[in-house]
Amino acid sequence: MNLVPTTVPDGVSLLLVDDHLIFLDGLSLALAPLARDLRVDSAASVQAAEQCLASHDYDLVLLDLKLPDESGLSVLQRWQREGRSTPVAILSASESAQDAHAARQAGALGFISKSASGAQLREAVGRLLLGENLPLPASEPATALTPRQQEILLLLAEGLPNKAIGRRLKLSEETVKTHLRSLFQTLQVHTRTACVTVARQRGWL
């Protein structure tokens, strides 16, 4: 069954931003049947992408999350602050629902997995070009924190060291460390900064 939308206008233009050149070539070939007179430009870095955007108006930018000079999420957030109006979707090897939701919050219209088939890719890009937002993947089930873990997380977000958290909650420093290890395991992180960042992304802070 042909999944490509039949109403994508002729002459649309896309900008693909990814630092893997072989992947860019394959992506261009996969998108070629999407519309007549399709223009597909590519950039291997954020700097190159911004040079393209300065010289041409694109209907859609497909942006990788991991780029050599700046992360995709950081780029999205900065472009939003700068008031750039070009629609952007993320095309990434990540299968994480968390990454997809973070991308949407940063301003992306959709999140497309690099594991998608050519037909799935053309369908997704076609829908974006027709003004739709792609549905987000289902979020991972939230793991409930204990009241004590929530208290420690809030104090961690304030930047308090373990000893100060213990004094505030009348706990030994070793008990605080035990709760932190549990939090790190729950959030699949290994630093305090990452713990706070992921907790905020999940809406726990």
Angle between helices 162-169 and 173-187 (to 10 degrees): 110
The answer to whether residues 17 and 98 belong to one domain is yes
Residue 56 within any structural domain of the chain: yes
Q: What is the pTM assigned to this prediction? A: 0.65
The residues, ordered by sequence, that sit 6+ positions from 57 with a Cβ below 8 Å of its Cβ are 13, 86
- The low-confidence residues of the chain, meaning pLDDT below 70, are 1-6, 138-144
Domain final position from 66, 99, 129: 129
Looking at residue 140, its pLDDT comes to 53
Which phi and psi (to 5°) does residue 11 adopt? Answer: 75, 20
Q: At 161, which CATH number?
A: 1.10.10.10
Residue-level pLDDT at 103: 85
Output the pLDDT for position 139.
Answer: 56
Cα 155 to chain centroid, rounded: 27
Residue pointed to by tokens 């395991």: 185
Neighbours of 200 (CB within 10 A): 11
pLDDT digit string, tens, across residues 134-190: 887 765 555 668 889 989 999 999 999 999 999 999 999 999 999 999 999 888 888
Tell me whether residue 3 is in a domain.
no
pLDDT > 70 in the chain, percent: 93
What is the domain count for the chain?
2
Residue 134's Cβ-side half-sphere holds a number of Cα atoms within 13 Å equal to 29
What's the confidence (pLDDT) of residue 2? 44
DSSP summary character for residue 145: P
Using DSSP's 3-state secondary structure scheme, residue 78 falls into helix
User: Do 152 and 115 share a structural domain?
Assistant: no
Tokens 């050599």 found at: 68
Q: How far apart are CA 37 and CA 17, in angstroms?
A: 20
Residue 8 covered by a domain: no
Measure the CA–CA gap between 28 and 105, rounded to whole angstroms: 27
Return the CATH number at 46. 3.40.50.2300
Q: Return the structure tokens found at 103.
A: 């991308």
Q: Is 138 within a domain?
A: no
H-only helix segments in the chain: 21-31, 46-55, 72-82, 97-105, 118-129, 147-157, 162-169, 173-187, 192-201
Boundaries of domain holding 186: 147-201
Q: CA angle, corner 204, sides to 151 and 177, nearest 5?
A: 40
